[in-house]
Each structure stands twice: as structure tokens, then as C-alpha cells.
């Protein structure tokens, strides 16, 4: 499993390096795309799951769908994205669970840039599959709605991102027991914004 994870991350890195040579942008623009590798970790915040920790690593592909919209400080660009998460660890007192997840619904608002800084807000939804119940005695299939606020720091070739993310992990009634896990995590990423040759 470690070899598979290393291979996936290596392939993702080479994709980012290769794409950076073709039509790199300074930031999100209508018709452009976002490519990013990211990792993050956090801790449970609620009741019986407050001793639970989470660490994830994945990749994002996004489509910037609009030009600047909105009034004043809310002005920005709408982006739709998909996250693939090949490494999703849940550290719980009953034993560590390993899983994979996909977030097919990521709705992101990239606010207008301020120098090299692009603030953003993000709402996501996905599904998580684990090798053991999360939490213990519930289900190996969970849903992962989340919300995040963060910034991109634009660089010469690559952009760096940092965000604080709230994630709720719940089986949504697939099991009769559904305490859910609320986590707050810090997520860091490296990526770039690109555009096609027709833009």
C-alpha cells in the first residue's frame, strides 16, 4: 500500500511539473484549470470521537467556470473541482482505519487576488471507504461533507495553499449507530492554475 501511495504521488508530481511548462497562469481565470497535490491532518472535536485523529493526502482537478462576479470584497470566480484521496487514515482508540475517498462535488469561490494572495472558500461532499468501522461498531462506508477557508500564495511556477477545513464523517443512517465525527484540520497544498491553448 505504501508503494502504491508513493507511485500515485510521484505520478501526480510529474503531471504538475509537465503541465507547468504549458500555459501556466498567475491565478484562477475563466476557462482555466487547477491541479493540486495536498495533504492535511486534524483532530476530532465532538463527544465520543474527540480522541480521533485524521490524516489525508490527495489530488485535485478543478475547472474555473466564471470570470469575476459579485460586489466589493465578495468579488471572485466560481470553480468546480474533484478530489481523489488515495490515503485517508483515521486514528481512533479502537484501532487505526485506512481508507480511500473521492469528493466528486467541490464548489470553490476564488476571491479576487490581493497581490500574490488569492483567498478562497470551499464546500465539498464525498464518500469514504475504510478497512474497518469508523467509528467502531458503525460502518465502513461514510460520507464526508466539509467546508474550508484558505489562501493560495501565487509563485513563479507553482502556487502554495493553506486552509483550515471542517469535515463531518458520518454514515448517514447506513448503520443504526451513527455518532459521526467532526474534525478540524489544517491542509497544505502545492499546485498550479493552467489554461488550454485556445484561451
Cα–Cα distance measured from residue 107 to residue 79, given in angstroms and rounded to the nearest whole number? 6
For 96, the grid coordinates are 487505526
pTM of the model: 0.83
Give 31's contacts (C-beta < 8 A, 6+ positions apart). 64, 195, 196, 199
Q: Give, for all 199 residues of the chain, the pLDDT tens digit.
A: 444 444 444 444 444 444 444 444 568 999 999 999 999 999 999 777 788 999 999 999 999 999 999 999 999 999 999 999 999 999 998 899 999 999 999 999 999 988 899 999 999 999 999 999 998 889 999 999 999 999 999 998 899 999 999 999 999 888 878 788 999 999 999 999 987 444 4
What residue ranges define each of the domains in the chain, with the CATH number in brackets?
A: 2-195 (2.40.160.20)
Amino acid at each position: 500500500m505504501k508503494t502504491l501511495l508513493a507511485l500515485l504521488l510521484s505520478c501526480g508530481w510529474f503531471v504538475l511539473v509537465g503541465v507547468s511548462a504549458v500555459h501556466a497562469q498567475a491565478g484562477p481565470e475563466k476557462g482555466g484549470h487547477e491541479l493540486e497535490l495536498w495533504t492535511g491532518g486534524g483532530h476530532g472535536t465532538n463527544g465520543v470521537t474527540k480522541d480521533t485523529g485524521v490524516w489525508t493526502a490527495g489530488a485535485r482537478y478543478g475547472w474555473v467556470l466564471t470570470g469575476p462576479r459579485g460586489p466589493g470584497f465578495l468579488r471572485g470566480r466560481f470553480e468546480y473541482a474533484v478530489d481523489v484521496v488515495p490515503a485517508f487514515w483515521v486514528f481512533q482508540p479502537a484501532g487505526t482505519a485506512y481508507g480511500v475517498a473521492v469528493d466528486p462535488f467541490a464548489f470553490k469561490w476564488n476571491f479576487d487576488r490581493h497581490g500574490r494572495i488569492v483567498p478562497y472558500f470551499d464546500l465539498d461532499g464525498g464518500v469514504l471507504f475504510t478497512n474497518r468501522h469508523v467509528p467502531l461498531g458503525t460502518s465502513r462506508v461514510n460520507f464526508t461533507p466539509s467546508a474550508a477557508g484558505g489562501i493560495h500564495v501565487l509563485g513563479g511556477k507553482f502556487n502554495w495553499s493553506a486552509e483550515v477545513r471542517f469535515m463531518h464523517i458520518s454514515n448517514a443512517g447506513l448503520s443504526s449507530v451513527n455518532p459521526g465525527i467532526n474534525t478540524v484540520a489544517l491542509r497544505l497544498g502545492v499546485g498550479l492554475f493552467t489554461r488550454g491553448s485556445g484561451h
